[in-house]
Chains A and B, each alone.
Chain A
Amino acid sequence: MDKSLKWRIILIVVVITITCFYLAPSIFKLPSWWESTFPSEKVSLGLDLQGGMHLLLEVETEKALSNTIDRIVSDFKNIFLKERIPFKQIERVGSDTLLVEILNPAYKEKFSKILEERFPNLEKLTFDEKEGIVTYTLGLTPRNKEYLERFAVDKGLETIRNRVDEFGVSEPTIQKQSENRILIQLPGIKDPKRAIDIIGRTALLEFKIVNDESDINEALKGEIPTGCEILYSKREDKKTGEITKEPFLLKKRTLLTGEHLTSANVRFDQFNRPYVAISFDSSGARRFETITGENVRKRLAIILDNNVYSAPVIRQKISGGGAIIEGNFTTEEARDLAIVLRAGSLPAPVKILEQRTVGPSLGHDSIREGIKSIIIGGAAVVAFMMIYYLLSGIIANAALCLNMLIILAALAAFRATLTLPGIAGILLTIGMAVDANVLIFERTREELRTGKTPRAAIDSGYAKALITILDANITTLIAALFLFQFGTGPVKGFAVTLTIGLIASLFTAIICTRVIFDYFLTKRRIKKLSI
C-alpha cells in the first residue's frame, strides 16, 4: 500500500511538472535559452476570439480549361493561315472541347500530322465528313485535363500565399482543402474587404490594341467587327461614389500578358497622383518593343481582369521594357495593385464559398465575457463543493484546478486552438469533472452510514464509484469524439476541450484525490472524515 502510494505521488508530480512546462510559454515571457530547450508552444486563440477572417475559396478550374482551349483555338488559326489550310470555323464548344471545320478533305492528313506533332495534349473525339467539309471535335486528354486542374489549384495556392505574404499578416493559414478548394485564415485582419480584394483578384494583366477604325456606336448596337470585343473602363468618383463606364472597342487578340512582369511598384507623378510602374523581363521587353513599334499612333489598352484601366496613344516604339498603369488610384489601391501584379495572376478565377469575419472588438468582448463566465461559474461550483463536502470538497476543488491547467497545457502541446465554444467546453468540464467526485463522495457517505471506518468507506466508495464513472464518461467521450471527427472550426474546438477535460477529469478525480485521502488516512491516521 505504502509503495503504491509513493508511485502514485511520483506520477502526479510528473504530470504537474509537464503541465507547468507546457503552460509556461503562454503565461510568462521566457528567456531564449528556455525556449530553445523546452516546448515553446503557446495556447493559440481561434479566429472568433482574436478576430480575423476565415475564407474558403473555390478555384473555377473549368475556367482554366476554357482558357487553354481558347489559346489552342488561336494557335490553330495562326497555323492554318501559315500553312494555307482553308477552314470554315475553329471555335471552343463548352468549356473543354473545340470544333474544327476544314473546307477541303485533302488537308485531312496534314491536319492529323499537325495535331500529332504539335498538340499531344489533344485527342479526337468525333470525326465527320459531309459535302466536302471535314468536321472534327477535339478535346483535352484526361491526363492533361487533370494536370491543368491540379495546376490551377496549386498555382493559385502559391500565388495567394505570395500575396498574403506581401500583404503582411502574421501567422496566416493557407491550405488546399479537397480537390479545388483553398482555405485561408488570416488572424487579426482589420480590413477584410481589402484582404479579399487582394487575395481573390484574378489579376490577369493584358495588353490589347484599340480598334479606332470601326465605329464604337455601331458596335454597341450589336455589330461588333470580327475579331473584336467591347470592354469597359469603370471609374469611381472618389467623392460621390458614382461609377462611370466608358466602352472600348478592342481587337480581341492579347498581345502581351502580365506573365512577363518582373516588378511592379507604386510611383507618384508631378501632381502627386499615384500610379504603378511595371517592368518586363527580356522576352517581354522585346515583345513590348515589337508591339509598340508596329502600332505607332494607335491606342494600347491596358486591361486588368477585363476592366480597361487606360488606353494611351503609342507615340513611338518603346524599348527598355517599362510601362505604367494609371487609373485615378488612391495610394492604397495603387499599392494593392502592385502587390497582386508582383505576385502574379491566378490561373483561374476564384469564388468565395464561405466567409467568416470577426472584428477584433467582438473577439475581445468574447474573451472577456468567456473568462468572466468561467470565473463566476467556476467560483460558484468551488464554493458549493466546499460548503457541501467541507474538507473533502477542498480536495475535489484542488483536483478541479489541476484539471483546468491540464486542459490548457494540452491545448498548447497539441497546438489546438481555443475557441469560444472551446471556452464553453472548459466550463462544461468544470460542471462534469466535479461529477466524478460527487459520485465518489456520495458513495463514501453511504458506506459511512453503514458503520464502516473511514478507511474502509473510502476504499469501497472509490471502488464502487469507479465503474459508474467510467461508464458515464465514456458515453460522453463517444459523442465528443464524433463531434471532433465531423465538426468544423469552432465546434471542433468545443470537442477538443471537452475530450481533454473528460480524460483529465478521470485522472484528477480518481487518482489525485485518492492519493490525498490515502495520505491522510495512512500517514496521519485521521479517525474522522470531513465529508
Chain B
Amino acid sequence: MELIKPDSKIDFVGKIKWALLFSLILISTSLISLIIGGGPRYGIDFEGGTLVQIKFLTTVSISEVRVSLDNLAIEGLRVQKFGEKEANEYLITMKKTTGELEGLSDDIKEALENRFGTDSLEVRRVEMVGPKVGEDLRKKGMLAVTFSLIGMLIYIWWRFELRFGVGAILCLLHDVSITLGALSLTHKPIDLPIIAALLTVVGYSVNDTIIISDRIRENLKKMTRERLRNIVNKSVNQTLSRTCITAGTTLMVIIALFFLGGGVIHDFAFTLLVGICIGTYSSIFIASPLLIVWERLFPKKRRR
C-alpha cells in the first residue's frame, strides 16, 4: 500500500512565501495572545499555589461550588470543571499556600461538606507547592530546557553544516512559540508535565528536520550539477512518505491519549498534539526551503 506516490513532485520550495505568511499569522496570533495574557500562564508547579480536585457524587453546578467557597474569602480562587461533562468533578486552584499542618484543602473540604453533606464528595487530589519550591522547580525547568536545546544544537552542528542547524533551530523556535500560543489561547497553565511535552515536541521537530536534512546532504553529494532548489524539492518529496507515516502513527497514539488518557494527562496530550502537527508542517514547509533563503543571503562559491 502506498499513501504517497513515489514519484510525487510537489514544489515545496515554490510555496515558501505562502508557508511563511501562514506561519507569520500563527506566530503573531500566538504572540498577541501571550502579550494580552501577560506572558505564559504558569501552573502551581512554577508559581506556587494550591490545587484541590473534588468529585461530587451528586450533580452539583459550578456556581454552587463557587458560592459555597465564597465565605472562605480566598484571593485568586478559581473553580473549573474537570474531565468529562457528566463527571461532576471540579478543579479548585488558588495562589495562596500555607506551610501550616492544617492545610487549605481541609478548609475547602469542610466548606463544601457543610454545604453539600459529609459523604457527598471525595477529595481526589491535593497539590500544594510553596513559593520556595515553585521557584526551585522553575529554575530546574529552565535548566532542563536550556541544556537540552544547547545539547541538540551542538549535536546538529557537529553532524551537519551550520546552515542545516540554523534551519532546524528556527523551526524549533517556530514550533515552540506556536504551541505556547495554543496553550495561552486555550487558557491552559504551564506545569511540569507541559514542559516535558514541549521538550518532546522539540525533540520530535528536530528529529523530523534532521531526516530531511540527511537526505538533502546525501543528494547534494550525488547530484553536484543540479540546482539547490531542485535538490531540496526532490529530497522533501522522497522523504514525504516517511514524514507523513511517522507523524500519522505518533498522532494515532497521542489522539488515543488525548481522548482516553483521562483528565490528569489531558493538557499534556494537547500540547503534544499541537506541537507534533506544527512540527511536521514546519519541517516540510519551513526548514528545508529556508536553505534556499540562506543560500541567497550567503551564496557559496562552489555551487550555482
Contacts and interface: CB of A to CB of B under 8 A. Distances in A.
A377 B257 contact: yes
B256 interface: yes
Contacts of A14: none
B262 A357 contact: no
Most buried by A among B106, B129, B246, B251: B246
Interface in B123-159: 123-130, 132-133, 137, 140-141, 143-144, 147-148, 151-152, 155-156, 159
A200 B159 CA distance: 54
Interface in B166-224: 192-193, 195-196, 199-200, 202-204, 206-207, 210-211, 214-215, 218
B238 interface: yes
The listed residue with most A CB atoms (<10 A of its CB), out of B125, B141, B202, is B125
A196 B103 contact: yes
A495 B203 CA distance: 12
B159 to A, nearest CB: 6
A479 B199 contact: yes
Interface stretch (B69-77, B225-233, B263-271, B295-303): B263-271
A40 to B, nearest CB: 31
A355 B253 contact: no
A523 B288 CA distance: 43
B253 A468 contact: no
Q: Among B103, B156, B159, B192, which residue has the most Cβ atoms of chain A within 10 A?
A: B192
B147 A482 contact: yes
Nearest to B251: A431
Given A351-B99, A369-B261, A438-B242, A479 B128 contact: no
A471 interface: yes
A442 B211 contact: no
B199 to A, nearest CB: 5
B100 A373 contact: no
B130 A357 contact: no
A442 B253 contact: no
A378 B264 CA distance: 20
Interface string A416-459: 00001101100110111011001100100110010000000000
Contacts of B98: 352
B242 A365 contact: no
B88 interface: no
Given A432-B250, A471-B214, A358 B265 contact: no
Contacts of B245: 388, 438, 442
Given A197-B101, A353-B130, A468-B211, A491 B196 contact: yes
B39 interface: no
Contacts of A255: none
B210 A428 contact: no
B260 interface: yes
B11 interface: no
Contacts of A424: 257, 261, 265, 268-269
Given A372-B260, A486-B141, A494-B196, A352 B242 contact: no
Interface in A470-506: 471-476, 478-483, 485-491, 494-495, 498
A356 interface: yes
Contacts of B124: 358-359, 361-362
B261 A354 contact: no
A357 B147 contact: no
B241 interface: yes
Interface residues of B, number: 75
Contacts of A58: 99, 132
A481 B53 CA distance: 32
A48 to B, nearest CB: 7
A352 B133 CA distance: 10
A390 B2 CA distance: 11
B176 to A, nearest CB: 12
Contacts of A489: 192
B53 to A, nearest CB: 7
Given A201-B101, A479-B148, A474 B268 contact: no
B252 interface: yes
A376 interface: yes
A427 B126 contact: no
Given A351-B99, A355-B127, A431-B249, A479 B261 contact: no
B152 A478 contact: yes
A361 B254 contact: no
B128 A352 contact: yes
A193 B108 CA distance: 13
B200 A192 contact: no
Nearest to B214: A468
Contacts of A442: 239, 241-242, 245
B264 to A, nearest CB: 6
Query: Which of A356, A423, A428, A489 lies at the interface centre, i.e. has the most chain B CB atoms within 10 A of its CB?
Result: A428
A106 interface: no
Given A362-B124, A438-B245, A421 B268 contact: yes
A445 B55 CA distance: 53
B248 interface: yes
Contacts of B122: 359, 361
Contact of B272 (A358, A366, A428, A487): A428
A133 interface: no
Interface stretch (A161-169, A263-271, A379-387): A379-387
Given A196-B103, A352-B130, A359-B124, A420 B264 contact: yes
B126 A192 contact: yes
Contact of A483 (B55, B144, B259): B144
Given A427-B257, A491-B196, A482 B252 contact: no
A381 B192 contact: no
A390 B3 CA distance: 14
A388 B1 contact: yes
Interface in B91-106: 98-101, 103, 106
B37 interface: no
25 contacts: A353-B99, A355-B127, A355-B128, A357-B127, A366-B262, A369-B260, A369-B261, A373-B261, A380-B252, A380-B256, A387-B1, A424-B265, A424-B269, A427-B253, A427-B256, A430-B253, A446-B238, A468-B211, A475-B152, A478-B203, A479-B199, A486-B140, A486-B143, A487-B140, A498-B200
* 7 A-B pairs closest in CB distance: A377-B256, A431-B250, A377-B253, A369-B262, A351-B99, A476-B203, A486-B144
Interface of B: 1, 3, 6, 53, 55, 98-101, 103, 106, 122-130, 132-133, 137, 140-141, 143-144, 147-148, 151-152, 155-156, 159, 192-193, 195-196, 199-200, 202-204, 206-207, 210-211, 214-215, 218, 238-239, 241-242, 245-246, 248-257, 259-262, 264-265, 268-269, 272
Given A478-B155, A483-B196, 11 more contacts: A200-B101, A201-B101, A353-B130, A366-B265, A370-B261, A427-B254, A434-B246, A438-B242, A442-B241, A442-B245, A486-B143
